[in-house]
Amino acid sequence: MLRTSAILSALLLCVSFPFAATAQSLPSSPVINLQTGRSLRFNELLPKGKVTLICFWGTWCLPGKRQIKTIVRNLPHWHRLADFTFITIAEDHQSVDGLEQKYARAQKWQFPHYLDATNELKSKLKFHALPYTIIIDSKGSIIYSHTGYLEGENLQQELKRIAGK
């Protein structure tokens, strides 16, 4: 019964709440690069002058995993339509060699993936449910956000609009 209750609680955190972000600057919260184990500041990890798509997820959140799979499946096509970088940030409380890294290896992720181990970044960005997807423009401002699973076509349109194509 406890396991069922925990699963239901996790799924409730993965509900969809649409939200249009207003431009805001990036927090300097620490995140861990799961490929290198190196800690760095969120506002310093993004490529300068480039649009960046970020998906926040958790190993326990099925919609978050589905969101990333949808994005990965569409990346080759989307990169032909818009110039952007894609990264993920896990919101689990695991070690660098924890569940997130094992999942990323099993999925053969070829893009940067990070861990917000303290949830400081989540707190600064003020989101409460996963998956949480943001797009950062080439000037370094968050100009789009969405809570919950987002269909690929909708995300593709936002990327094209923001990347100016």
pLDDT at residue 165, as a whole number: 57
d(CA 84, CA 73): 15
Give CATH for domain 2-163: 3.40.30.10
Closest Cα partner for 129 from 17, 24, 30? 17
Q: Which position has the higher pLDDT, 14 or 51?
A: 51
d(CA 53, CA 73): 14
pLDDT exceeds cutoff 70 at 80 = yes
- The arithmetic mean of pLDDT across residues 27-38, rounded, is 93
Any idea where the domains of the chain sit in the sequence? 2-163
Closest Cα partner for 46 from 139, 116, 128? 139
pLDDT exceeds cutoff 70 at 8 = no
At 9, is the pLDDT very low, low, confident or very high (cuts 50, 70, 90)? very low
pLDDT exceeds cutoff 70 at 62 = yes
DSSP for the chain? -HHHHHHHHHHHTT--EEEPPPPBPPP--EEEETTT--EEEHHHHSPTTSEEEEEEE-TT-HHHHHHHHHHHHHHHHHHHH--EEEEEEE-----TTSHHHHHHHHHT--S-EEE-TTSHHHHHHT--SSSEEEEE-TTS-EEEEEES---HHHHHHHHHHHHT-
Highest average pLDDT, of 2-6, 20-24, 136-140, comes from 136-140
Of all residues in the chain, what percent carry a pLDDT higher than 70? 82
Are 54 and 88 in contact by the 8 Å Cβ rule? The answer is yes
Of all residues in the chain, what percent carry a pLDDT higher than 90? 59
Q: Which position has the higher pLDDT, 92 or 142?
A: 142
pLDDT exceeds cutoff 90 at 110 = yes
- Record the pTM: 0.83
- The arithmetic mean of pLDDT across residues 23-40, rounded, is 87
